[in-house]
Amino acid sequence: MSNLLKAEGYKSVLNLKETELAIKKVKDFFLASLSTELRLRRVTAPLFVLRGLGINDDLNGVERPVSFPIKDMNEATAEVVHSLAKWKRLTLAEYQVEPGFGIITDMNAIRADEELDNIHSLYVDQWDWERTMKAEQRNIKYLKKIVTQIYSAILRTEFSICETYPQLKHFLPEDVFFIHSEELRQMYPNLSAKEREDAICKEHGAVFIFGIGGKLGDGHEHDLRAPDYDDWSTENEEGFKGLNGDLLIWYPVLNRSIELSSMGIRVDKAALLRQLELQGKENRKDLYFHKRLLNDQLPLSIGGGIGQSRLCMVLLHKAHIGETQSSIWPEEMRQECRDLGMPLI
């Protein structure tokens, strides 16, 4: 398969039985650690939502949700969630969560348009979290603080799993390097966005890239973002636009960068209106979620998602995400993975 990265000389450090046990240890430890770090309470989340309410995320704006008709609701259409960014904000309002506290849930999704490779699957499992914040916290300093706390929970989880399985060796750096996507473009003007990520992550080990979604100096976005959850258009105190970003690490097993989390300060009323106009989607103002936000019925918040299977893959030194989750793969990819010593679950 052309999309499959081949890890030269790869051999799984843990066998299948050890891997299954280790997956649970990683998930349990990280959930407890992050919940304590950010003061998050666990809530139950939906697998699907009704179409037409503006609750489901459209991610980059082009992915098609998996949908089905509901017999007992006059054939109303339900959509399997892509993520829970907007649902979580509605839940913060419903539970009346105070600033400084938040929620976390297990998000399970199907992304049928995903291009399958070592780190992308049809099945997506995330820790989706959202935290209420104050207006004066809508700045880069606060975002950096939250990113650092999340990364600290990742480091603690790595230490714990390496203590349990000494054959796994610590490789993550102690600190996160922060850079705006425009600074990164100027640093590597002749590289693509993905090549820039690889270059900066190889140098620093762990990187948070700000400002994902808005146009850069060359007229292109570093990556696409929908207009109605992350704030990628507000000018921040460092003179750049964007209060969101991606957390990436350099992964030596595959010799490439890997995104572990996409997150950000969410849109306020002004940012929502601006971003809907920038993307020509003003018609969304009449949807349920958007009307509640524009009518000041939703709290200001920060939130994101952290890939469960992907974090397990990285911390257990696996070469393919299919080694830490069960999904559907092309048979030729399964066979090639077997030949390369990557036994898919």
Q: Which residues are catalytic?
A: 57, 111, 126, 246, 259, 262
**DSSP calls for 258-310:** EEEEEEEEBP-HHHHHHHHHHTT-GGGGGSHHHHHHHTT-S--EEEEEEEHHH
Paired tokens of 142: 């606060």
Residue 18 CB neighbour total at 10 angstroms: 15
End-to-end CA gap in the chain:
18
**Is 300 within 8 Å of 138 (Cβ atoms)?**
yes
Alpha helices in the chain (DSSP H): 16-38, 85-95, 140-164, 181-187, 193-204, 269-278, 288-294, 308-315, 331-339
| Location of structure tokens 């292109």 | 220
Give the residue from 265, 272, 303 showing the smallest Cα distance to 287: 272
**Is 92 within 8 Å of 71 (Cβ atoms)?**
no
What is the side-by-side order of every strand in the sheet holding 244-251?
40-42, 102-110, 123-132, 301-307, 256-265, 244-251, 206-210, 177-180
